[in-house]
Chain A
Amino acid sequence: MTLKPYDGVKLKAMLQGFWGLTGRELKKWMKEPIILFMAIVQPIMWMVLFGKSMNIAGIFSPAILDEINIPDIRIPGSLLNPQIDGVITIPNYVIVENLRSTLSAISLKAMESVFGVSDYFSYLAIGMISMITIFTSTFSGMSIVWDRRLGFLYKVLSTPVPRSAIILSKVFNAAVRSIFQSTIILGLAIFLGIRFSSTFSLLNLLAVYLAIFLFSTGLSSLFLAFALRSTRHETQMAIVNLFTMPLMFTSNAFFPTKIMPNWLQGIASINPVSYITDALRQLTIYQTNYLTLLMDFVYLTAFAATLSTVGIILSWKYLTK
């Protein structure tokens, strides 16, 4: 028998395998709108219930002045000028008026210096975009476990489709889902009165999607790598549950890192969730600081590139029967 050297892996064939698998994932996703609904319920609850009830600006509300009995201030005139006899009275309404405007200024200043915006709802709504992206990306590992259990993975592995295409189709699918779900959250936030900064534009929206794409790519690669050998979805559930809450709370998704204790700030400064959340806020509700934004994107790009490379390399070795 004559041995002919076979044409190596053709890029076109590989791309077709990738698109085929991605198409499958998206078809499955679109056929089950209930899953989409379930996935976004939690972030929406946080945004609507927590974001609206946690009215931090209200703490400094001048309305409290009405509940305090503020007396007139009487100063002996000689204190100011020895020539003045008698007592100078400053009526309490003048004092209240002054305090009222000062308190408002303090409230605004405190909110802006801590949160960067004047209302907590806007701050949290953007954090919830990070949250939905975390949920969607961490759960991508589950699908590989199901594919394995239901035999589908076996078939895919027996075909010439590159192992990397299997992983990348799931990563890409997670990113597309995240972007779609984030759009719903953002739409709802606009409806509920999120305040965009003056620098927000349509171009910023594209950058928002890019940030979500990068973050989701990195995170889903990581969780797919965890799932490569797994046959039990319970294990995956446990891993997802173990990671999501700490990921959220050690970042700036709910509260700014600058009011955190030092050790927590340290964790937050390496947590990728902080970087995507900051990038999203820079692009939407903050006056964009381009240097910070650039740093965020450098971090997110490195995060996505490193973890997807790791995922692909691990899939060559560990994505087997």
Chain B
Amino acid sequence: MTEDVIIVENLTKIFNRNLVAVDHISFNVKRGEIFGLLGPNGAGKTTTINMLTTILKPTEGRAFILGYDVVKHASIVRRLIGIVPQEYTADEDLTGYENIILCGDLYGIPRDISKKRAIELLELMELMRFKDKKVETYSGGMRRRLELACGLINRPKVLFLDEPTLGLDVQTRSAIWNYIKRLKEEYNMTILMTTHYMEEADSLCDRIAIIDYGKIVITGTPQELKNSIGSDIMEVIIKEGDDVTNILKDIDYVKEVRRRNDRSYIVRLGNGEVAAPLIIDHLRQKGYHVIKLSISKPTLDEVFLTYTGRAMRDSEEARETIMSQRITLRRARR
């Protein structure tokens, strides 16, 4: 059964009357899906999450989680969702176990149930060994796993992950990805996550919305998005030094040719595998010899570049965001 668990209609947030953080965005997330909001820092991803999780009130527009309005039924929504924020929110002076139990208390879960669940979650996140250690001794990856555990104590139907691997090293990052995949399978949750890592969105998300300057630029599966820019990148190196740009341009599928140096050309084209033999044949007919040819598939980086006209950039952000990110990064690197 597919149904829309998250419905967002024209959601808008304007700070201080003129700073438009989120600009009339709309999207739906289906049950059991991992949906990614992909965009650079300051694009409005966290603001979107904050509105969906009832922490911020939208300036305009509406959003529904499992049919409940995030403004009118805020306290019901809070019960149904779990949040793993960008920052580390655990209390450093308490142990990991105490932190999870406290989360349970905040949801009003009876202690005997939350104790059982805490152990289960600590095991799932492989934190049992550190359960009675103060959180201030935890590494970045352990903290992130603890945040995941806290976010799951109320068995949420919908989980919000805000930059789940911010500041973590590559290994820890892929470990976290595995936990997220396992969560989705074990609890059949709907997950909405934000990220500014392309490869994270690519490997985890069923569908992605690219968001930039508060607007959704395009939505689709990673594959759809890559297909939509309709081109593979091919590098062709020929033996001869003549300019063959015009010959290449006349071949089917070819969209754009750029001569990199005397003998090397960068070709953007649709369906590189089919076009490759054609290119070799055409050049041979004109008396040129291909000595090397490589095809690379488009990445989400290129999708982003194509749709926004820019590479992912770091933009200026509010002092508070920078401050909280700095704290997060500092703790993550311990």
Residues in A lying within 8 Å of B, measured CB to CB: 1, 3, 6, 9-10, 12-14, 16-17, 19-21, 23-24, 27-28, 31-32, 149-152, 154-161, 231, 320-321
Contact = CB atoms under 8 A, between A and B. Distances in A.
Contact of B83 (A27, A31, A155): A155
A17 B105 contact: yes
B327 interface: yes
B56 A151 contact: no
B93 A154 contact: no
Contacts of A9: 75
Contacts of B154: 159
Given A1-B67, A160-B78, A10 B108 contact: yes
B106 interface: yes
B108 A13 contact: yes
B89 interface: yes
Given A1-B3, A9-B75, 4 more contacts: A16-B108, A28-B91, A155-B150, A158-B53
Given A27-B93, A321-B56, A151 B327 contact: yes
A6 B89 contact: no
Contact of B106 (A1, A154, A161): A161
B162 to A, nearest CB: 10
A24 B108 contact: no
Given A1-B66, A27-B93, A160-B78, A154 B85 contact: yes
B120 to A, nearest CB: 19
A158 B31 CA distance: 22
Q: Is the interface of A mostly helix, strand, loop or mixed?
A: helix
B111 to A, nearest CB: 8
- Chain B: interface residue count, which band? 35 or more
Contacts of A17: 105-108
A150 B92 contact: yes
Given A6-B73, A158-B85, A231-B320, A320 B56 contact: yes
B107 to A, nearest CB: 6
A156 B79 CA distance: 12
B93 A321 contact: no
Given A1-B67, A6-B76, A231-B320, A28 B94 contact: yes
A209 to B, nearest CB: 26
List 7 tightest A-B contacts by C-beta distance, closest first. A13-B108, A20-B105, A151-B87, A155-B89, A159-B106, A160-B78, A151-B89
B45 to A, nearest CB: 15
A3 to B, nearest CB: 6
B149 interface: no
